[in-house]
Amino acid sequence: MNVRDTVWQALGTVLDPELDEPITALDFVASCTVSGDGVASVHLRLPTFFCAPNFSFLMVADAYDAVSAVEGVTRADVVLDDHHASTEINGGVAAHAGFLQTFAGEADAELAELRQYFLEKAVIAGQDRVARPLVDAGVGPDELAALTLGAAPPSPDLDRLRARRAALGLPAGDGAPLLIHPDGSRVTAAQVPLHLRRARLTRLGMESNGDLCKSFLKTRYADPAAIR
Amino acid sequence: MYEKNGEKYFVVDSHMHFWDASRENWVEGRENLAKGWIDCFYGYHTLAPPETHWTWEKYLKVTPEDLMRDVFEEGYVDKAIFQSTYLKYWYKDGFNTTERNASLLEQNPDKFIVNGRWDPRDGEAGLRQLEEDARRWNLKGVKLYTAEWHENGSRGWKLTDKESYRFLEKCRELGIKNIHAHKGPTIWPLNKDAFSMEDVDQTATDFPDLNFIIEHAGIPRIDDFAYMAVQEPNVYAGCSVVIGAHMHARPKSFAKFMGELLFWVGEDRMTFGSDYNIWTPKWQIEGFVDWQMPDDEAFSDYPRLTTATKKKILGLNAAKLYGIEVPEECRLPEAPSIPEQPGEQLADEATPAGAQA
């Protein structure tokens, strides 16, 4: 694989924290090039001029870290285009300043907590993605409460759920129950109906938000990303 | 009033605007912010059926005649409630101030209700302004933006702030019963707390005699909203944007949003708002009256909508909140009040340890 492809792959590990989807799949990468001497130049774009600066900062910073770590990249230039806080964010990321320093006097918390909050949501929503087809096939609360990750049918959704759980330090091995509370404890059979109701609702909030973002991006940038 | 198949729907548009985003109103040096804001709104506008789209130029500012036609002559609305949005940081005279909204009230006193606003960071001067506004416009409600920036450097506030409670007590004293809080799509907020709904939860408990209408039902964080609303009988789901952004553009998401709100919040605590001038009310009202939960298996455990459900959401619920007289022919027969909110029962029965997400 050439360096450009590896950089693209690295960008695929960067998530929109609120939507829990890779920025490459969301079409947020406007361009991605690597020069002969290893300088990677990446431009990012977002659905609106006013997308929340905290999420925007996380994506640019994560992209910078991911691209910088690619072997063969000598320097990473990651730039956010057309955003109300482009100047602050781009400057802050390039200078390795944290969010607090970048928005001195405006922000009062680093973003780790924010990232954690959405990862927890992704873990709840992910349980619906894996369990819903089973519910539709007639699997009942007793069986669902007993089902382990290793025994659930393999799927990209299952892999994604395990990755998010691992990132939060929640049980992600084969023997871990599929359905868990936010603190990692097992969901009992009696709790399954409410638990799944909640998981479905969280998924709805995240996925419909993603749909909205995609349609705004399409309106804003009529032509699909030049690359790929 | 909207009439379909012999049924008469009294319509209260409980969340609408009369904005000025024209170039003349852009603050010098901040044109990119003023344009960015209205561009953002225009993105939402394009989620409506294509035949209702306006040009971007028209979208910047409509005339009073446009509004009266769109909302009342063609839009079936019986009573419209103005909610203000100031944004004076980049619009010289503000985007949609109480004064600007009230300019239409003077010519059409029976058509409009004008809501006020306050910001706890304005302190004593803000309290005095609220008293004055309440007298001048007979305020029954206010619209609050907890994520709004302030000239004192603050980038947001919480309903539970000590200063905020002083304003809420003032509302109580002045007979302002309806607190509309914007907890919707995130624009601007720098901090995690800016979109949190925990402050509504606590405040609704501490002020049980006030009504808290959460505009846009907290979307996209509808889960946080629903678990809070299921426990607080004085919390309402403002359905502005819920209908406008989804019913046409994302019908499946819309069906799920309706199903979830009916389940957790219930049909007695949902209110219609067109969010004019983002969208016109006509297509939203016609479409909603014709709308039903899909027969598809995926929607089978959501409540169905009855004609009574639609009448409540489109007008009767808001009429109750604001004490608006409803013509006899549009009322529902007085039935013993059994709140339709299945989620409450499920949550009560099964409240599991650790379920508070």
Give the separation between CA B172 and CA B203, rounded to whole angstroms.
Answer: 13
Check if the beta carbon of residue A174 is closer than 8 Å to that of residue A149: yes
Q: Give me the pLDDT at residue B354, please.
A: 37
Q: Is residue B223 scored above 80 in pLDDT?
A: yes
Burial A94-128 (b: 16+ CB within 10 A, else e): eeeeebeebbeebbeeebeebbebbbbbbbbbbbb
DSSP 8-state secondary structure symbol assigned to residue A68 = H
Cβ within 8 Å of residue A51, ≥6 positions away: A83
Average pLDDT over residues B184-190: 55
Contact B347 A194 (CB under 8 A): yes
Determine the length of chain B.
357
For residue A105, which of A91, A120, A122, A88 has the smallest C-alpha distance? Answer: A88
The CATH class, in words, for B15-331 is: alpha beta
pLDDT digits (tens, 9 = 90+) for A196-224: 999 999 999 999 999 999 999 988 887 55
A221 touches chain B (CB under 8 A): no
What pLDDT sits at residue A13?
96
- Residue B140 pLDDT exceeds 80: yes
Q: Please give the interface size between A and B, counted as residue pairs whose CB atoms are below 8 Å apart.
A: 130
Instruction: Tell me what the mean pLDDT of segment B265-290 comes to.
Output: 97
Mean pLDDT of B180-188: 72
**Tokens in use for B80?**
């419209």
* Candidates A114, A193, A205; nearest CB to B222: A205
Across the interface, of A136, A185, A198, the residue whose CB is closest to B223 is A198
| CB within 8 Å: A194 and B36 | no
The whole-number pLDDT of residue A70 equals 97
CA distance A199 to A187: 12
Contact residues on chain A for B246, CB-CB shorter than 8 A: 208
Across the interface, do A54 and B221 touch by the CB < 8 Å criterion? no
pLDDT of residue B356: 38
Tokens 């990755």, located at residue:
A163
The nearest alpha carbon in chain A to B47 belongs to A215
Q: Give pLDDT, residue B193.
A: 55
Nearest one of B187, B141, B175 to B36, comparing CA atoms: B187
Question: Any idea what DSSP says for residue B317?
Answer: H
| pLDDT value for B337 | 60
A116 touches chain B (CB under 8 A): no
Q: Looking at residue A226, what is its pLDDT?
A: 43
Measured in angstroms, the CA of A203 and the nearest CA of chain B are apart by 9
- Provide the token pair at B309: 């459900």
User: What is the chain B residue with the closest CA to A121?
Assistant: B357
Alpha helix segments (H runs only) across chain B: 31-45, 56-60, 64-68, 98-107, 123-137, 162-174, 198-206, 222-229, 242-246, 251-264, 281-290, 307-311, 317-322, 342-350
- In this predicted structure, what is the pLDDT of residue A53? 83
Q: Nearest CA of chain A to the CA of B308: how many Å? A: 25
Domain A3-107 is found in CATH 2.60.40.2220: no
Q: Is A109 in Cβ contact with B192 (below 8 Å)?
A: yes
The rounded distance, in Å, linking the Cα atoms of B317 and B314 is 8
Is A216 near chain B, with CB under 8 Å? yes
What is the average pLDDT value for chain B, to the nearest integer?
91
Residue A104 at interface with chain B, using a CB cutoff of 8 Å = no
Pairing of strands B7-9, B2-4: antiparallel
Which one, of B21, B13, B17, B110, lies nearest residue B67 by Cα?
Answer: B17
User: How high is the pLDDT of residue B220?
Assistant: 86
Q: What integer pLDDT is reported at residue A46 of this predicted model?
A: 95
Pairwise CA distance, residues B236 & B215, whole Å: 8
Q: Is A108 on the interface with B (CB under 8 A)?
A: yes
Q: Which residue of A has its CA nearest to B257?
A: A204
- Using a CB-CB cut-off of 8 Å, the residues of chain B touching A208 are 219-220, 246, 250, 253, 256-257
* A215 contact B CB<8A: yes
Q: Is A56 an 8 Å CB contact of chain B? A: no
- pLDDT for B271 equals 98
Crossing angle between the packed helical segments A53-68 and A3-11, to the nearest 10 degrees: 150
Q: What are A216's strand-pairing partners?
A: none
Mean pLDDT in residue range B327-348: 76
> How large is the greatest C-alpha to C-alpha distance in chain A, in angstroms?
61
DSSP category for residue B24:
G
**Is the model more confident about B78 or about B149?**
B78
Residue A225 to residue A223: CA distance in whole angstroms = 6
Structural domain boundaries of chain A?
3-107, 113-210
Element housing A115 (H / E): helix A112-136
Closest-CA distance, A53 to chain B, in angstroms, reads 6
Answer whether A211 sits within 8 Å of B190, measured CB to CB: no
Describe the strand order of the beta sheet including B270-271 as a list of residue ranges.
B141-144, B178-182, B211-215, B235-238, B270-271
Q: Which of A21, A118, A197 is most worth mutating to test chain B (most B CB atoms within 10 A of its CB)?
A: A197
Q: Which residues of A touch B356 (CB under 8 A)?
A: 182
Q: Which of B157, B223, B224, B250 to mutate to test the interface with A (most CBs of A within 10 A)?
A: B223
Q: Which residues of A7-29 are buried (b: 16+ CB within 10 A; e: fewer)?
A: bbebbeebbbbbbbbebbebbbb
Q: What was the pLDDT predicted at A107?
A: 62
State both tokens at A67: 């691209």
**Phi and psi torsions of A155, nearest 5°:** -165, 160
Q: What is the pLDDT along chain A (228 residues), one digit of tens a residue?
A: 899 999 999 999 999 999 999 999 999 999 999 999 999 999 999 999 988 888 898 999 999 999 999 999 999 999 999 998 899 889 888 888 777 777 766 565 667 888 888 999 999 999 999 999 999 999 999 999 999 999 999 999 999 999 999 999 999 999 999 999 999 999 999 999 999 999 999 999 999 999 999 999 988 887 554 444
Higher pLDDT, B156 or A9: A9
Task: Reply yes or no on whether the pLDDT at B352 is more than 50.
Answer: no
**Cβ <8 Å between A188 and B347:** no
Q: Which residues, other chains included, contact B245 with Cβ-Cβ below 8 Å and sequence gap of 6+?
A: A212, B44, B47
Nearest CA to A149 among A182, A180, A119? Answer: A180
User: By C-alpha distance, which of B189, B121, B60 is closest to A54?
Assistant: B189
For chain A, first and last CA: distance in Å? 15
How far is Cα A38 from Cα A74, in angstroms, rounded to an integer? Answer: 5
Nearest chain A residue to B155, by CA: A106
Strands A15-16 and A21-22: antiparallel
- Report pLDDT for A224: 53
Q: Do B40 and A49 touch (CB under 8 A)?
A: yes
Q: Which residue has the tokens 């004076």?
A: B88
Residue B182 has pLDDT above 90, yes or no: no
Q: Is the pLDDT of residue B48 over 70?
A: yes
- Amino acid at site B289: V
